[in-house]
């Protein structure tokens, strides 16, 4: 699952540069809703980790429990993952 706010951080609005990512997005479920409980959990994770953007924290909250997050930027996400319920961060 990919939350829509991740698309804002990931896409560059250049068709050629976004081609591979657009293909990947086509294979995923895209979620355009953020319930208040999920936003609160993301805030808790961000506070506890003392790292990561709001989007990073939201991605981690969405992956709970026992999920995996694929990323090219593992630093902040690993700090957030340490505060989650068994979320794995996989660098790509």
Question: Which pLDDT score is estimated for 9?
Answer: 81
pLDDT tens per residue, range 43-87: 999 999 999 998 999 999 999 999 999 998 898 999 999 999 999
pTM (2 d.p.): 0.77
User: In which element (H, E) is residue 84 found?
Assistant: none
DSSP 8-state class, residue 3: E
Question: Which pLDDT score is estimated for 15?
Answer: 85
What's the CA gap between 92 and 77, in Å, rounded? 13
pLDDT tens per residue, range 12-30: 888 899 999 999 999 999 9
Contact between 83 and 34 under an 8 Å Cβ cutoff? The reply is no
Contact between 4 and 30 under an 8 Å Cβ cutoff? The reply is yes
What's the CA gap between 57 and 59, in Å, rounded? 5
Q: What does the domain layout of the chain look like in residue ranges? A: 2-91
């Amino acid at each position: 699952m990919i939350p829509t706010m991740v698309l804002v951080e990931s896409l560059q609005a250049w068709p050629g540069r976004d081609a591979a990512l657009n293909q990947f997005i086509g294979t995923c479920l895209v979620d355009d809703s953020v319930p208040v409980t999920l936003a609160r959990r993301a805030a808790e994770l961000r506070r506890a980790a003392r790292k990561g953007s709001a989007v990073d924290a939201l991605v981690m909250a969405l992956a709970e429990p026992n999920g995996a997050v694929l990323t090219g930027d593992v630093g902040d996400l690993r700090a957030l993952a340490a505060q989650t319920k068994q979320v794995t961060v996989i660098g790509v």
